[in-house]
Amino acid sequence: MKRIAVIEGDGIGKEVIPQALKALEALDFRFERVDLEVGYARWERTGTAISDEDIETLRSCDCILFGAITTPDDPDYESVVLKIRKGLDLYANVRPIRPIAAISGAVGHKNFDFVIVRENTEGLYSGIEDIGDDRACTTRVVTRKGSERIAQYACKLATARRKHLTIVHKSNVLKSDKLFLDTCRQIAEEEGITYDDRLVDSMAYSLIATPWKYDVVVTTNMFGDILSDMSGALVGSLGLLPSANIGNSHAFFEPVHGSAPDIAGEGYANPIAAILSAKMMLEWCREFKKASLIEEAINQTLCRNIRTPDIGGNSTTTEFGDAVAEYI
Amino acid sequence: MKRIAVIEGDGIGKEVIPQALKALEALDFRFERVDLEVGYARWERTGTAISDEDIETLRSCDCILFGAITTPDDPDYESVVLKIRKGLDLYANVRPIRPIAAISGAVGHKNFDFVIVRENTEGLYSGIEDIGDDRACTTRVVTRKGSERIAQYACKLATARRKHLTIVHKSNVLKSDKLFLDTCRQIAEEEGITYDDRLVDSMAYSLIATPWKYDVVVTTNMFGDILSDMSGALVGSLGLLPSANIGNSHAFFEPVHGSAPDIAGEGYANPIAAILSAKMMLEWCREFKKASLIEEAINQTLCRNIRTPDIGGNSTTTEFGDAVAEYI
Ligand SMILES: CC(C)[C@H](C(=O)O)[C@@H](O)C(=O)O
Ligand SMILES: CC(C)[C@H](C(=O)O)[C@@H](O)C(=O)O
């Protein structure tokens, strides 16, 4: 039995994670549940958003199901998401982008199915900064080791898919990206994966204009952050994208969206991203049947026209979650 | 009479700039023309893509009309575009994103009209790098002075438009972006411009999903690079976006697209971005009537169904350019 930490977090995190848990319960997926209260609300109360002991607790778990956490505009606040990613060395951020049959995206394409594999530990997220009153610098770090392991992850994934890798970089401006590009090319050669590469700016265009061209897309941390949120427009809403942060021994599953303070508390947040994150968790736990039942339940629920306002309906978060659990 | 440098550059640059020049000639716009051969072809021949004397020549001109230049995968190559931007301190990169009536974008929206104002001298384009075999770093620089002047430019532009500014940043991860955000907020207050701000990832989503929400968008160098190319999908092709690089005394006008080696030499590149760049140049020269005639000529030509393949036609670059000049 897996030991799984559950972090609802702040804002709509508290609304969507219970729906994912309901689905897991309906599937009769048994796990040892470890609830953790970390994040902004706790920071306001105690001055600590997440402690080193919390990281130890998470390390004692197999994986984490996570909602969302609010980041205040306060330089002393330490990001919970980043602390967990670094603390457990979750180096691969995996974001599948696929259409959902019953939902038409803002863009109108339906024939795409790609995965963004985002390096999750370095790049502009190095945390190396030098902040002055009149000049503030951040060091963007690319290492051979970091590039190698993310390229290996991406190639492994491509092997199980359509065997194509697109390496996204900006090496015409950032000489540091040449290390990333060359390392990815080399690993792809070794693994027998066909590959090409694109500059990040032209890729942002191409992913919207011709998304069917891509299979596995590997890139550095911040570029992956931007391209994956952007791809929410292809699928139809930011409330639809799940993600997995994968390390050698742990994993952490979370919707791509944030805590959405603007709609929190109203009960209308879309729980699909959270439920699909639970689906990715089931796959990681090798519970493939249960995972595909989740997807089926979401599709059936959408076909019954139960949907939240962001995708054109007027159902509540709970109504959607209940319908999914019921179908299961 | 203005003194204007003309740089066709490489690849499709050589094909689209002549169309822009034809339009200027048809408009009877007189200028002192200074042709400059810089770029990849010259680098291959002489080992220098652009020299310091070339920058002095450009400094002796009022402005530059520029096609595109190929960047080889060679760490010794110095980017021509970046050398000109830095050399003439062209700190504001201005990229208007508006629908073209006769063209339907990949996304289907028609009701948007915003301008991306991209800081053009610092950020990840600092050129400060530390390249090792196993670790390669780039320093992302935000300065108060750099942020102030780009915010001032953006606010001035907003004043002449719908008076709204959106500040795009990633200050939840990059503490250095707090300086950018706070400086922009302060300038907007001083200038009496209403403003909001968005994280770059969520902005990438929002610009595609709800582009009508934006008027003037101000951001740092690399984020502006990515968001503007991406916005090409809203308009319908990368071949449609013009841009201006503006400094205190000089300006440099270029299509957002690159030299496109994949289609260069075939004669089917879309010249609209180049012709619209010439239009922005006319506006900068305060030739507003001539500028609007260019726009009218493009629209009329599209309505006659003369269009290049990227926007669904089969006309050549020259056919389009001829039709525009003829209409004028
Ligand atoms: C919350 C934030 C630190 C995070 C990131 O930038 O990685 C989020 O945007 C994401 O994509 O998971
Ligand atoms: C050619 C390249 C250096 C340039 C940039 O990154 O700024 C281009 O992509 C642009 O947007 O003008």
Helix/strand/coil (H/E/C) assignment for every residue in chain B: CEEEEEEEECCCHHHHHHHHHHHHHHCCCCEEEEECCCCHHHHHHHCCCCCHHHHHHHHCCCEEEEEECCCCCCCCCCCHHHHHHHHCCCCEEEEEECCCCCCCCCCCCCCCCEEEEEECCCECCCCCEEECCCEEEEEEEEEHHHHHHHHHHHHHHHHCCCCEEEEEECCCCCCHHHHHHHHHHHHHHHHCCEEEEEEHHHHHHHHHHCHHHCCEEEECHHHHHHHHHHHHHHHCCHHHCEEEEECCCCEEEEECCCCCCCCCCCCCCCCHHHHHHHHHHHHHCCCHHHHHHHHHHHHHHHHCCCCCHHHCCCCCHHHHHHHHHHHC
Q: What is the pTM of this model?
A: 0.97
Q: Are residues B310 and B216 located together in one domain of the fold? A: no
Q: Give the lowest-confidence range in A87-91, A303-307, B51-55, B71-75.
A: B71-75
For residues A95 and B294, give the distance between their C-alpha atoms in angstroms, rounded to a whole number.
44
Residue A247, pLDDT > 90, answer yes
Of A215, A235, A255, the residue that ends a domain is A235
Q: How many domains does chain B have?
A: 2
Asked whether residue B259 is assigned to any structural domain, the reply reads yes
Residue A310, pLDDT > 90, answer yes
Interface test with B, best of A145, A226, A311 (most B CBs within 10 A): A226
Asked whether residue A37 is assigned to any structural domain, the reply reads yes
Asked whether residue B285 is assigned to any structural domain, the reply reads yes
The residue behind tokens 């190559």 is B77
- Which pLDDT tens digit goes with each residue over A177-210? 999 999 999 999 999 999 999 999 999 999 999 9
Q: Are residues A225 and A286 located together in one domain of the fold? A: no
B170 catalytic? Reply is yes
Of A175, A203, A235, the residue that ends a domain is A235
Active-site positions of A read 125, 170, 201, 225, 229
CATH number at residue B193: 3.40.718.10
Q: Are residues B192 and B176 located together in one domain of the fold? A: yes
Containing structural domain, residue B264: 1-90+243-328
Asked whether residue A253 is assigned to any structural domain, the reply reads yes
Q: Are residues A108 and A89 located together in one domain of the fold? A: no
**Maximum distance among all Cα pairs of chain A, rounded to whole angstroms:** 58
Q: Are residues B229 and B250 located together in one domain of the fold? A: no
Q: Which residue has the higher pLDDT, A18 or A106?
A: A18
Q: Are residues A108 and A86 located together in one domain of the fold? A: no
Q: Is the CB of residue A86 below 6 angstroms from any atom belonging to ligand 1?
A: no
- Which pLDDT tens digit goes with each residue over A34-59? 999 999 999 999 999 999 999 999 99
Q: Are residues A138 and A211 located together in one domain of the fold? A: yes
Q: Which of B195, B225, B268, B279 is catalytic?
A: B225
Asked whether residue B158 is assigned to any structural domain, the reply reads yes
CA nearest B108: which of B233, B215, B217? B233
Mean pLDDT per 10-residue interval, chain B, length 328 residues: 97 98 98 96 93 97 97 84 96 97 84 97 97 98 98 98 98 95 98 97 96 98 98 93 97 95 95 98 98 97 96 96 98
Q: Are residues A266 and A321 located together in one domain of the fold? A: yes
Q: Are residues B215 and B282 located together in one domain of the fold? A: no
Asked whether residue A273 is assigned to any structural domain, the reply reads yes
Residue A18, pLDDT > 90, answer yes
Q: Given CB atoms, is A173 within the 8 Å cutoff of chain B?
A: yes
Q: Are residues B255 and B215 located together in one domain of the fold? A: no
Asked whether residue B96 is assigned to any structural domain, the reply reads no
Of B236, B271, B287, the residue that ends a domain is B236
* Structure tokens belonging to residue B274: 């180049």
- Which pLDDT tens digit goes with each residue over A109-156? 889 999 999 999 999 999 999 999 999 999 999 999 999 999 999 999
Q: Are residues B108 and B198 located together in one domain of the fold? A: yes
Looking at residues A169-183, what average pLDDT do you find? 96
Q: Are residues A126 and A187 located together in one domain of the fold? A: yes
Cα dihedral sign, B217-B222-B225-B231: negative
Q: Please name which ligand lies nearest the alpha carbon of B118.
A: 2
Query: Do residue B129 and residue A205 have CB atoms under 8 angstroms apart?
Result: no
- Which pLDDT tens digit goes with each residue over B196-247? 999 999 999 999 999 999 999 999 999 999 999 999 999 999 999 999 999 9
